Structure formats: structure tokens, C-alpha cells
Amino acid sequence: MISIQNLSMIYPGNVTALDDVSLEIEAGKFIALQGPSGSGKSTLLSTLSGLVRPTSGSVKIDGTSLYEISPAERSVLRAENIGMIFQNFHLLPYLNVLENITLPSVAKNLPLDHYASEAKSLIDQLELGHRISHHPAKLSAGECQRVAFARAIISQPKLLLADEPTGNLDNKNTEILINLFKDYAKQGNTVIMVTHADADANQADQVINIADGKLITS
């Protein structure tokens, strides 16, 4: 469902972050992406997310080429198909847990409470019920990451991208998050997780290694 063809990214200053990357990823897979610092992991996720246009090459999601459609069409495609999670959560500090989770409705021009019932059931499932009206500053790292996970999947995107999501979590919260990723992939979605930890990567269906912007096939 995700087809990456000859993707290259050269940043200003002639920094090659991705060097002719090609890859096909089937739906239903949980993929771990590993590689040294500066190898191009975040750049690959950014180009897959539709946020950063590569210098050349294509990214197709279910046959639609992300960078051959208009910016407005790309925004719609992103809002409907792509969720993102980061190491530092990127929650909005002035919104509470429920509001942070329902926020993706705004990108779809829907009212903020559009996903309220889905959000409440996710909040229960993720054991955040007692935190529903709290702001992120009052939450633990594990709770923040579960809120970020709920926000990323609230509209059931086919592609979930996570950039070092376990970097700030202890072992218990890492295990909870990885199990959520496994389950989300089993529902027929694609999950791509960047990680530095072998123990986390080994729980994925497939590990992809990257070095100097090139995929290493093992």
C-alpha cells in the first residue's frame, strides 16, 4: 500500500539525507526503522508524511502519489490517511487530554467535538479516564505518549508514523505503546516506528536499516 520509489532528499548546503530509497510496504505491517544519528530516518518519515517534498522520487499511498497532487488535496489525504507521533509528544499545552485527542478534526474542517465519542472510548481503553480534563503539563511521559497515540489514530489513518516514540518512556510504558502499535497494524494498517533500541525493533514484523540515506538490505 505504500510504495516509495527512488526517493532522494538533498537539503540546502548539498546535504544528502536520502539517497535513492525504494521500498514497498504492505498494509498490516509493523515496521521498525533503525540507523545511526543523521542517517535520514526523520527525513524519510517527513517525506512519507507529506510534510516535506523530496528532491526527487515518489511516495504513493494506495496508488495516490503524494507529491503529484495539489497542496489542498495533499492536506485532505494527510488528514484522512496519515497519523504521526514524536519522541517529545508534541501535545498542545493549553488543551486538555480530550481536546488534544480530538484536535485532528480541525484539519478536516470539522467541529472540535466531532471525534468526542471515539476519543472517550480511546481514553477508557488507554486508561486515561482519570486524566481526561488534565493539561499535558500534569501528565507522566507514558500518559503523554498514550494521548499522542490516541490523537494520531483518532481518524483511523492507514499509515501511522512514529519518530522515536519510546525515547522518553520507561520499559513498562514502552511495552504498552509497542503493543498498541502491534494491534493497530493487525487491524490492517501500516505502522512505521523509528527506534534506537534493538529490543523495540525486534518486536516489529520487519526491521529496515538505513545508513547515510541508503537502505541496507539484509
Ligand X SMILES: Nc1ncnc2c1ncn2[C@@H]1O[C@H](COP(=O)(O)OP(=O)(O)OP(=O)(O)O)[C@@H](O)[C@H]1O
Binding status of residue 39 toward Mg ion by CB under 5 A: no
- Burial class of 76 by CB neighbour count within 10 A (0 to 12, 13 to 18, 19+): middle
Nearer to ligand X, 46 or 102 (CB): 46
Cell readout for 184 is 493497530
68 three-class SS: coil
Contacting residue, 29, 30, 41, 185, with ligand X by CB under 6 A: 41
Nearer to Mg ion, 43 or 105 (CB): 43
Contacting residue, 25, 29, 30, 35, with ligand X by CB under 6 A: 35
Phi and psi for 90 in degrees, rounded to 5? 55, 45
Binding status of residue 107 toward ligand X by CB under 6 A: no
Contacting residue, 1, 2, 4, 17, with ligand X by CB under 6 A: 17
Q: Closest residue (Cβ) to Mg ion?
A: 42
Cα(36)–Cα(34) distance, integer angstroms: 7
Where are the alpha helices (H) located in the chain, listed in sequence order? 41-48, 71-81, 97-102, 104-107, 116-125, 141-153, 171-186, 198-201
136 binds, among ligand X, Mg ion, none (CB under 5 to 8 A by kind): none
Cell readout for 27 is 498494509
Contacting residue, 18, 33, 34, 42, with Mg ion by CB under 5 A: 42
Q: Which residues bind ligand X (CB under 6 A)?
A: 11, 15, 17, 35, 37-43
Q: Which residues bind Mg ion (CB under 5 A)?
A: 41-42
